[in-house]
Amino acid sequence: MNRLTVFSLPCALVVWLLALQVVKVNAATSQVLLTYGNGSVVSNVEVEYGTSTQIIGSGKVVGTYLETNNIKTNLSDLVDVRPYLRSLVLAGTLNPNANSYVAIHYPTGVTISTSDLGTSCQQFGGYHSAVYVGDISPNVQYMYYGVLPYCGTTALDMAPAISHELGETVTDPLGNTGWYHASTGQEIGDLCNGMNGMVDDPLNPGNSLTIQKLWSNVQQKCISSRSSPLPPPASYSSTSSKKIYDATLSSRPVSIQSVEITPIFYGMNVSFKANLTDFYKFLVTSPYIGARKLCSFYFLIWLNALPSHT
């Protein structure tokens, strides 16, 4: 007797169940790098960089914060940005967890500098990092953050930098402890710098927005979305010079599983605040990061394909 049972399960669990089924079938040819993502049918770019314990799924925007006090025009990451973020944790404004990502947006006229990258809008258009909060937060040792200076003239000018830093934060939150190029240290966004693509907006059917492409180990190229299931491991070339490695020997996190974004707008003059918030919502529900509806759809197909029992 054939039966079809409909379950309501989290997307991440669906992905892992599917991955387990395919890994079981292809155990003889599985490669360590792709074992975790192999077989997933979630149409997002980053799912292939999940692991058995850290499955990358959809995210959400959990709130925004407008900073209006003590606005400076010249900031140092070490002297100003990190202490500022810690002060927000101390004040209870931010309560980070393992999935938290704080994206700080600065207005025109504010310059940020770091000891290794240089000066904003000259040597860099954005960066991501982590600040230690283990002494003031009960939940985590580090809080992940991105710095996004305003280097353009329109809201769309920010899109490549925003998507670049978000994509890398999810897959390498602490920097060279997750997924990165073993020889150059480049992350999945660095390998595709300057290569933009268009992604359909699930919140506004018929509309698409610009993002920066991210590197795919599986497809061995820069992609903006994935329209088909991941191929079997045997089709992956392990000799590519652009292979991204998983630092599984590290005790630190490899990836963020369900990113929770808090955009911070530094000063009243930050341009396009509403547009930027909407763009983050687009990213975490689009094929760029995650598409929950596809998970349920394929999960039902997979269930229906299982041998029937009487």
**Alpha-carbon torsion 8, 14, 17, 18, what sign?**
positive
User: Does the pLDDT at position 301 exceed 70?
Assistant: no
pLDDT digits (tens, 9 = 90+) for 261-272: 999 999 988 888
CB atoms within 10 A of CB 2: 8
User: Does the pLDDT at position 14 exceed 60?
Assistant: no
pLDDT digits (tens, 9 = 90+) for 183-227: 788 899 999 999 999 887 777 788 888 899 998 887 888 998 775
Average pLDDT over every residue of 61-75: 96
Q: Which of 41, 5, 16 is nearest to 291 (CA)?
A: 41
| Whole-structure pTM value | 0.76
Tokens of 35: 């074992």
pLDDT digits (tens, 9 = 90+) for 221-253: 899 877 555 544 333 333 333 444 444 333 444
pLDDT digits (tens, 9 = 90+) for 126-136: 999 999 999 99
pLDDT computed for residue 167 by the predictor: 92
pLDDT computed for residue 58 by the predictor: 83
